[in-house]
Structure 1
Amino acid sequence: MGFGLIYKRLIFCVAFAGILLFHGFCSSDHQGTYAGPKYTFMHQATSAPAISYYDYIIIGGGTAGCPLAATLSHNATVLLLERGGSPYGNPNITDLSAFGRALSDLSPSSPSQRFISEDGVISARARVLGGGSCLNAGFYSRAATKYVDGAGWEGRLVNESYRWVEKVVAFEPPMKQWQSAVKNGLLESGVNPYNGFTYDHMPGTKLGGTIFDPEGRRHTAADLLKYANPKGLTLLLNASVHKILFRIKGKKRPLAHGVVFRDGSGNKHRAYLKRGSKNEIIVSAGALGSPQLLMLSGVGPSDHLKAHKIGVVLDQPLVGQGMSDNPMNAIFIPSPNPVEISLIQVVGITHFGSYIEAASGESFTDNPTQKDFGMFSPKIGQLSKVPPKQRTPKALAQAIESMKALDPAVFRGGFILEKVMGPISTGHLELKTKNPNDNPSVTFNYFKEPQDLQRCVQGLKVIETVIESKAFSKFRYDYLSLPTLLNMTANAPVNLLPKHANVSTSLEQFCKDTVMTIWHYHGGCQVGKVVDSDYRVLGVDALRVIDGSTFNYSPGTNPQATVMMLGRYMGVKILKERLESNKSN
């Protein structure tokens, strides 16, 4: 095939297929279906009694909820309620070769529930035991020491909790030629020093961890339930919590004492806390689910709750505020030479607040006639060729249909991306309906703050220097400069760029037009605003929120390691409080 024809098809591909960023996680080798552990405490919610009693009720068996439940089960009775099913036995979750397929499954039983922010960016939330760790790109990296100190966490216990997680889910990935070229290009571009392979967050360039093992099998937060005491834990799947119940007597603070949930058949169940001053309900339903459930239970902005005819338990105007999602932008670099299939392995942690990552290689399903561009494809809503507000179902359908005609040679190359740290820009979340299974309305306000936009521009400039570095020369065409890659010309490809009539596209405009999610959204129940430093909900008793909704900023380059750590960390702290209380009594 002539190079000109390849480029014509590349234009066609980029125009309709969107970014193919994390497709490098896929492989043509089928690893088989992983049946998973046989947890004796795991049951369908349909088997639950109409009324039950526990020391702790945890809402959400996700990235934080699983390690939290496993820890608390050693000195208390724990009910863990997960609205989704099990990840085990589902090759779309467990097999690296099937990476990204779960995100394109739009069925009611899918482990991924699609949502579209009011900004127009299409995203997803987990609906499965193990939460987002069942759907993500697998990258594992700790939070920075400065972040830990700022959160007021105990450094020794934080490190112990990370190690507890890493024994089960974290691995060192292989690194081959293309990723090595990116690494050396970052160093040549001044993103120094090279910190080697490490889970730690340090300025410079490093090789991070992954939750995919050497056999290509994903390990998730659900695997951390192996640490649980089977006699102390009851796990119910397909259990959708509709409301937290409160006791309100006289002028005393509202006391959380139970929950109402429905099973997969729609039957209603109630679970209550046993009598005891240290018994609690803990919400770990994620950045969308936790503020949503507080509002549905009467804790939130009173005017908003009244508009939905929800009885106000506590007027808390900051519930749902401070929502953020780290904006991500990427550049595809066509290669004159073959590249390996690789996941996100190398990270450049810059001094100005942008993280540089990369992925490479082509991705197809086991059936070569069914092409699938993985996690950043139109099938999951990633269509950066079209500005956010124009990413309609029709545009997605056209892009999906267009993928069928593409030649594999078009995708020889890889992506280098930048993700904005923080970010500073924030938005808010509101209810749409009173049904907890419906998505709330969420606005992230990408690039609302100028500093976020400037970080994106600076990140793109670093990518340019990596592309033009000597280290990366084997994987680039010399005449394709960054401006050429970013702008439509008669003889060059458009790189994921919406056109503006009579307007010369700037890097700022590129950032705005091609912004996508990297699935690191957070906020809505932030520390100091909705919960205190021990994650107790302000203004009510016996209720905590422990998950990413409490974050003011996304920790590290990728948050999953820290969310899992937080579940373990807070479980240890809560058990210590319980033990000290029992001694004093």
Structure 2
Amino acid sequence: MAFGHRRSLLPVFFLCCLRICYTEHASTYTFVKHAVQAPPVSYYDYIIVGGGTAGCPLAATLSEKHSVLLLERGGSPYGNRNITELAYFSQNLADTSPASPSQRFLSEDGVINARARVLGGGSCLNAGFYTRASPEYVRDVGWDGALVNQSYQWVEKMVAFEPPMLQWQSAVRDGLLEAGITPYNGFTYDHMYGTKIGGTIFDRDGHRHTAADLLQYANPDGLMVLLHATVGRILFRQTGGAARPVAHGVVFHDAAGVRHRAYLNNGAKNEIVVCAGAVGSPQLLMLSGVGPRDHLESLAIDVVVDQPMVGQSMSDNPMNAIFVPSPTPVEVSLIQVVGITRFGSFIEGASGSNFASHYSQITHELRFGMFSAQTGQIFTINDMNDLPAASSSMRGGFILEKIMGPLSTGHLDLKNKNPDDNPSVTFNYFKEPEDLQRCVKGIETIEKVIQSKAFSRFRFQYISTEELLRMALNFPMNLLPKHDNASKSLEQFCKDTVMTIWHYHGGCQVGQVVDKDYKVVGVDALRVVDGSTFNFSPGTNPQATVMMLGRYMGIKIQTERRETDDEVRRKS
């Protein structure tokens, strides 16, 4: 079975017209309303919690034949240039206001991270890279390969593009090849060893296309989307002492703080599906009484099911980056090229002011002090003289490496019963030695790219790689102490400069919290469909696979429902 896709089979002109038409109308969805407009009580066949990367395609698919309520705690992405325009990518990550589509959280590891709070989820905030999971990943998970292909293609018709390859990204590509990350695989969505140009959700004009655009596939008569609707808990009913709890509704509050209830219509096959992400999904399960008994009872949460694995096996792919100042101007670009190594690291790059301005904002906050959830101490950064200014004329770019997997895992715990607050998350970066060695090899590969002939025009020859490592230590994206030997020891450099690339996953994994059909173990009428179910992050960027999974599971749920109906008819 072929899982790959290099070019769309549809004519390019038709695809462009299709996507332009969809995008023009996406901001005028008739089925999208603010939760303050919702009735006190409502009824649907399916209730989906989380209008993100998985929730949007799932809602669009299920609405074809059923009534669907999609609850999103954030607002709309449309009309916000920080979301829609590539040039303003970093502004959302720097925005810490209550209305920001990005909700910052600090892991117990001391690494600054973010979770989406907007219709479209992480696809509204990320660097846009679009690439599929490998065929091996698809087989290991046990997905239907043909349906996976169809689901990827359904997504790609709407949101995936070939990026323009300008000078800096071309130099990274050629530098990777010089560094031995071969073969060259050209432009492809496929995940394969070597160097390739991947897809992007930014079109040729630099406009972002998100999972929210996939709602154009929806049946407008079958879907209701409520914005600024924060779900506090899932409601369960139990008819007898031995009966399994059945999910039958949710409680949510709107922007004014008014509570609403939504229930499933009568029918054995109607369900609630949680798509709140790797942080939000385990958090909501625990708030609803599905989780470790001791932990829930410590917060006075009534236990519905003692499920000790909820919130466990949390992982975040560690990222480490080196900034390379350039003697010549560079384009503003996000991730376009990737080197997929055989030792378990992915090498990518971004240039211009986008990443730099995000770093500059974090640096400013750290300079004036930031509270550490890990120790309660105030960390300050004083020696910032080597930091380049973040401006539209920023010259240079970051070359980064991301650990595949990873093998190191942590856990998530509730801090309180407020669904608006972040839970406590620990990722345990580099706990497993193999992850650290992959980082070291990744940094060594980045050094080869920087020293390559192809990249020579974009680096100052008199700046050594050790000096670049020392400069990277002055771009703090974590609250960890820095060590004097970090520019000489790559192991210490990896530990001191660890960052996130926002690919965290786990907490509701298949085989632990949900079964192979993503049904929550121990209860009925409840599934989880998002990155919290992943054991490993798929591909070099998971967003394509999360969007695919939303479509895939929508089709699977419809098929399962139809087969059940057919069986009932045969028996009658």
Settle same-fold status: TM greater than 0.5.
yes
Instruction: Identify the range of structure 1 (301-310 vs 138-147) with the bigger mean alpha-carbon deviation.
Output: 138-147
Counterparts of 2:442 and 2:163 in 1: how far apart (Å)?
24
How far off is 1:117 after superposition?
0.3
Q: What residue in structure 2 maps to residue 477 of structure 1?
A: 460
Shift of 1:412: 2.1
Q: Find the residue that maps to 2:380 and give its secondary structure.
A: helix
Matches within 5 A, 1:263-282: 263-282=254-273
Identical residues among aligned pairs (%): 68
Deviation of residue 307 (structure 1)?
0.2
Structure 2 CA distance for partners of 1:401 and 1:431, relative to 1, 3 Å = farther
Separation of aligned partners in 1, 2:344 and 2:325: 27
Partner residue in 1 for 2:248: 257
Q: 1:391 to 1:423 in 2, by over 3 A?
A: farther
| Partner residue in 2 for 1:16 | none
Dislocated runs of 4+, deviation >6 Å: 380-384, 386-394, 398-403
State how far apart, in whole Å, the 2-side matches of 1:382 and 1:482 are.
27
Partner of 1:450: 433
**What's 2:549 paired with?**
566
Deviation per CA, 1:522-578: give whole Å up to 9, x if none.
000000000001100011110000000000111100010100000000000101111
Q: Does 1:99 align with 2:122?
A: no
For the pair 1:314 / 2:300, whether they are aligned, the reply is: no
Superposed displacement of residue 271, structure 1: 0.9
SS at match of 1:522: coil
C-alpha distance in 2 between matches for 1:126 and 1:392: 27
Letter aligned with residue 395 of structure 1: T
TM-superposition CA deviations, 1:498-541 (whole Å, max 9, x none): 75357874000000001111000000000000000110001111
Say whether 1:332 aligns with 2:317: no
Shift of 1:485: 2.4
Which one of 222, 225, 231 corresponds to residue 232 of structure 1?
222
Aligned residue for 1:156, secondary structure, equals helix
Matches within 5 A, 1:365-376: 373-376=356-359
Partner of 1:286: 277
Shift in alpha-carbon separation, 1:467–1:303, aligned structure 2, 3 A: same
Secondary structure of 2:180's counterpart equals coil
Give the distance between the partners of 1:256 and 1:375, measured in 2 at CA: 41
- CA 1:383–1:454: 2 relative to 1, 3 Å: farther
TM-fit CA distance, 1:334:
2.2
Number of the residue aligned with 1:42: 32
Give the partner amino acid of 1:55: D
Determine which of 427, 433, 440 is the counterpart of 2:410. Answer: 427
Name the counterpart of 2:133. 143
How far, CA to CA, are the matches of 1:141 and 1:423 in structure 2? 18
**Aligned residue number for residue 395 of structure 2:** 412
Q: How does 1:120-139 map to 2 (within 5 A)?
A: 120-139=110-129
CA distance in 2, matches of 1:515, 1:503: 12
Q: How has the CA–CA distance of structure 1 residues 546 and 238 changed in structure 2, closer, same or farther, with 3 Å as cutoff?
A: same
Q: How many residues are paired up?
A: 538
* C-alpha contact (below 8 Å) 1:331/1:495 kept by paired residues: no
8 Å contact 1:35–1:89 — kept in the other structure? no
SS in 2 for 1:132: helix
Match of 1:118 among 95, 101, 108: 108
Task: Describe the shift of the 1:501–1:507 C-alpha distance in structure 2 as closer, same or farther (beyond 3 A).
Answer: closer
Residue identity matched to 1:161: S
Root-mean-square deviation (Å): 2.6
Bigger relative contact order (CA 8 A; separation at least 6)? 1
Change (3 A) 1:258 1:381: farther
What are the within-5 Å matches in structure 2 for residues 505-584 of structure 1? 505-584=488-567
Q: Are the counterparts in 2 of residues 298 and 311 from structure 1 also a CA contact under 8 Å? A: yes
Please state how far the C-alpha of 1:37 moved relative to its aligned partner.
Answer: 2.8
Displacement after TM superposition at 1:583 (Å): 2.2
CA distance in 2, matches of 1:315, 1:428: 17
Q: Which residue of 2 aligns with 1:440?
A: 423
TM normalised by structure 2 equals 0.89
Query: Per the alignment, do residues 81 and 328 of structure 1 end up closer, same or farther by CA in structure 2, a change over 3 Å counting?
Result: same
Gaps of 5+ in 1: 1-32, 364-371
- State whether residues 359 and 475 of structure 2, in contact with CA within 8 Å, keep that contact through their aligned partners in structure 1: no
Deviation at 1:53, TM superposition (A): 1.0
Secondary structure of the 1:373 match is helix
CA separation of 1:399/1:81 partners in 2, compared to 1, >3 Å: closer, same or farther?
farther
- 1:475 positional shift: 1.9
Contact 1:36 1:89 (8 Å CA) reproduced = no
For residues 291 and 232 of structure 2, the distance between their equivalents in structure 1, rounded to whole angstroms, comes to 15
The offset of 1:338, in angstroms, is 2.5
CA distance in 1, matches of 2:311, 2:560: 29
Q: Which residue of 2 aligns with 1:342?
A: 333
1:73 is matched with 63
Which residue is equivalent to 1:167? 157
The aligned counterpart of 2:380 is 395
Q: Deviations over 1:122-158 (max 9, x none)?
A: 1111111001111111111111111111110011100
TM-superposed deviation, 1:469? 1.5
- CA distance in structure 2 between the aligned counterparts of 1:159 and 1:407, rounded to whole angstroms: 41
The 1:161–1:255 alpha-carbon spacing in structure 2 relative to 1, beyond 3 Å, is same
Contact 2:386 2:474 in 1 (8 A): no
Deviations 1:37-63 (A, max 9, x none): 311111111111111111100000000
CA gap of 1:376–1:519, structure 2 versus 1, over 3 A, is farther
Residues 262-313 of structure 1: per-residue CA shift (max 9 Å, x gap): 1111111111111111110000000000000000000000000000000010
- Alpha-carbon distance change, 145 to 236 in structure 1, aligned in 2, over 3 angstroms: same
Q: Does 1:500 align with 2:491?
A: no
Q: Tell me how far apart the structure 1 counterparts of residues 308 and 530 of structure 2 sit (CA, whole Å).
A: 20
Deviation at 1:391, TM superposition (A): 11
Kept in 1, the 8 Å contact 2:352–2:392? The answer is no
CA spacing shift, 1:36–1:483, aligned 2, 3 Å: same
Question: Against the structure 1 CA distance between its residues 582 and 279, is the aligned structure 2 distance closer, same or farther, given a 3 Å change threshold?
Answer: same
Match of 1:82 among 50, 59, 72: 72
Indicate the residue corresponding to 1:195 in structure 2.
185
Cα contact 1:328–1:515 (8 A) shared by 2:
yes
Amino acid of the structure 1 residue aligned with 2:151: S
Contact 1:261 1:268 in 2 (8 A): yes
Q: Which amino acid aligns with 1:177?
A: Q
Distance 1:445 1:48 in 2: 41
* Alpha-carbon displacement from aligned partner over 1:424-479 (angstroms, at most 9, x marks no partner): 00000000010111100000000010000000000011111111122222222334
Residues 352-411 of structure 1, C-alpha deviations (whole Å, 9 max, x = no match): 000000112235xxxxxxxx9334443499979x99979987638x799998x9486994
- What's the CA shift for 1:35? 8.2
TM-score w.r.t. the length of structure 1 is 0.87
